[in-house]
Amino acid sequence: MSNAAQGLEEHRTLVEEWLRDCFRERESRGDLYDAMYYSLLAGGKRIRPVLLLECCRLCGGEPAEALPFAGAIEMIHTYSLIHDDLPCMDDDDLRRGRPTNHKVYGEATAVLAGDALLTAAFEFMLDPSVKLPPERVLEAAGILARAAGGRGMVGGQILDMAGEGHSLGLHEVEELQRLKTGALIAAAAEMGCVLAGGSQEQRHSVRRYAECVGLAFQIQDDILDVVGDTETLGKPVGSDAKSEKTTFVTLKGLETCRELVQKLTNEAVDALTCFGLEGEGLCWLATSLASREK
């Protein structure tokens, strides 16, 4: 493993351990925490928290101090998947190769597990045990709140639902994806920089990087929904076609999409020049996401 990859792998290990223990000391509440842990520890790629920690390190901060924020963004990502899979939403039975949350715990508990994860994200960021300067904590938590709500992820989900069965234009699909997946990825990068007390130039650079990576990530997702296989992905392929969604692939075709992913990945790497060699971890991340098969 390269040094660049190893640094990120260390972040990932930190995040996994933090997530594994985060609710350990809480008093049991029915099967609420079982349901929350079920989805939280389902072995996601941890892209958002790893990106947050690496941007924190890159901007001169201590990643360990940013862990509650890294965990928080993964909680918000996880809650959105639980609610997205509900019968009244995408009605999915399988997620990451396992039955979806409501299939195991029932719909009511799945709704509440999602609600509790979303709330827990803020509990951890705003906990008195966080010793970073209050101004940085406030700013980082505020960035996440804005990226997760109606002006970000949830807004994107509404547009996504509204678009099913309709044919959308490229601009609409871009806007939808910028909100639905892009906002949280950009927030991860920006939060890492803010928590580290980074400069405006650094903040601008990591945000630009994350915007390119986020869009490339979504286009690659659309590609994999057409050419991937169910076993590798851990979820059914062809789900976009099934729900008649307009995707980058339906708009642009596979070949152009592959070129777009490459172009955006190059732009992401270019955005990191101000960090010199220190940016190689994020370069590696962008490249590996562009060539992922799941």
Rounded to a whole number of angstroms, the minimum distance from the CB of residue 195 to its own copies is 14
Rounded to a whole number of angstroms, the minimum distance from the CB of residue 115 to its own copies is 5
159 binds its own copies (CB under 8 A): yes
Residue 140 to residues 52, 68, 134, 144, 264, Cα–Cα distance (Å):
11, 11, 10, 6, 26
User: CB under 8 Å to 195, separation ≥6 — which residues?
Assistant: 52, 56, 61, 65, 66, 69, 132, 136, 137, 140
Within 54-83, the residues that bind its own copies by CB under 8 A are 79-80, 83
- Give the C-alpha separation, 82 to 237, whole Å: 19
123 binds its own copies (CB under 8 A): yes
Helix (H, G, I), strand (E, B) or coil at 247: coil
134 binds its own copies (CB under 8 A): yes
What sign does the CA torsion over 37, 284, 141, 195 have? positive
> What value does the CA radius of gyration of the chain take, rounded to a whole number of Å?
18
| Closest residue by Cα to residue 216 from 168, 163, 143, 288 | 288
254 binds its own copies (CB under 8 A): no
Count residues contacting its own copies (CB under 8 A)?
Answer: 52
158 binds its own copies (CB under 8 A): yes
Rounded to a whole number of angstroms, the minimum distance from the CB of residue 196 to its own copies is 18
Give the one residue of 32, 94, 237, 274 binding its own copies; rule: CB under 8 A.
Answer: 32
* Interface stretch with its own copies, choices 39-47, 158-166, 213-221, 264-272 (CB under 8 A): 158-166
Rounded to a whole number of angstroms, the minimum distance from the CB of residue 143 to its own copies is 9
242 binds its own copies (CB under 8 A): no
CB atoms within 10 A of CB 27: 5
Tokens of 62: 């201590």
145 binds its own copies (CB under 8 A): yes
DSSP state of 53: H
161 binds its own copies (CB under 8 A): yes
Nearer to its own copies, 184 or 290 (CB): 184
Give the one residue of 64, 126, 170, 241 binding its own copies; rule: CB under 8 A.
Answer: 126
Give the one residue of 33, 69, 209, 275 binding its own copies; rule: CB under 8 A.
Answer: 33
Nearer to its own copies, 80 or 265 (CB): 80
Rounded to a whole number of angstroms, the minimum distance from the CB of residue 63 to its own copies is 21
119 binds its own copies (CB under 8 A): yes
Give the one residue of 36, 59, 67, 187 binding its own copies; rule: CB under 8 A.
Answer: 36
Q: What angle do CA 45, 20, 150 make, to 5 degrees?
A: 60
User: CB under 8 Å to 292, separation ≥6 — which residues?
Assistant: 220, 224
Rounded to a whole number of angstroms, the minimum distance from the CB of residue 205 to its own copies is 22
x/- letters, 93..112, toward its own copies (CB under 8 A): -------------xxxx-xx
User: CB under 8 Å to 51, separation ≥6 — which residues?
Assistant: 185, 188, 189, 192, 210, 213, 282, 285
Residue 241 to residues 195, 212, 216, Cα–Cα distance (Å):
41, 25, 20
Rounded to a whole number of angstroms, the minimum distance from the CB of residue 11 to its own copies is 25
Q: Answer for the pair 245, 163: CB distance below 8 angstroms, yes or no.
A: yes
